Amino acid sequence: ETGVTQTPRHLVMGMTNKKSLKCEQHLGHNAMYWYKQSAKKPLELMFVYSLEERVENNSVPSRFSPECPNSSHLFLHLHTLQPEDSALYLCASSLNPGQGGIEAFFGQGTRLTVV
């Protein structure tokens, strides 16, 4: 059983829809991440939360809105997406670097298709 759980596993949405991706970690970590994995491209870091505060936002369009209500849960709210946003969205968690957090642990991802 993975320590990082993502739901849903698959999502198809229209460009006018609003949906949310959910991530939950059971590893006692205090940093959580959203990565985007597109075909033929390296994984792209989207957002980082540390102790529920956003610490990185890598020029992500505002149609993606993250939320971290506590250290175990992370959401990615989606609205008015474009077809090019279709990708695998991976959640990860780790301890903070200041606490020796070096390795990130990943979930199984949500395969998003925008039609």
Partner 1 sequence: AQTVTQSQPEMSVQEAETVTLSCTYDTSESDYYLFWYKQPPSRQMILVIRQEAYKQQNATENRFSVNFQKAAKSFSLKISDSQLGDAAMYFCAYKRGGSNYKLTFGKGTLLTVNP
Residues that bind partner 1 (CB under 8 A): 2, 31, 33, 40-43, 45, 48, 50, 55-56, 88, 90, 92, 94, 96-98, 102-109, 111
We find the least distance from the C-beta atom of residue 106 to partner 1, in angstroms, to be: 4
Which residues is 25 bridged to in the sheet? 4
We find the least distance from the C-beta atom of residue 37 to partner 1, in angstroms, to be: 9
Could you tell me which residues come within 8 angstroms of residue 8 by beta carbon, excluding any fewer than 6 positions away? 21, 110
Q: How far is CA 34 from CA 6, 16, 57, in A?
A: 11, 22, 10
* Closer Cβ to partner 1, 47 or 64, answer by number: 47
Distance CA 108, CA 77 (A): 18
* Closer Cβ to partner 1, 66 or 107, answer by number: 107
* Closer Cβ to partner 1, 41 or 70, answer by number: 41
We find the least distance from the C-beta atom of residue 60 to partner 1, in angstroms, to be: 14
CA neighbor of 96 nearest in space, from 44, 59, 56: 56
We find the least distance from the C-beta atom of residue 58 to partner 1, in angstroms, to be: 8
CA neighbor of 74 nearest in space, from 94, 58, 98: 94
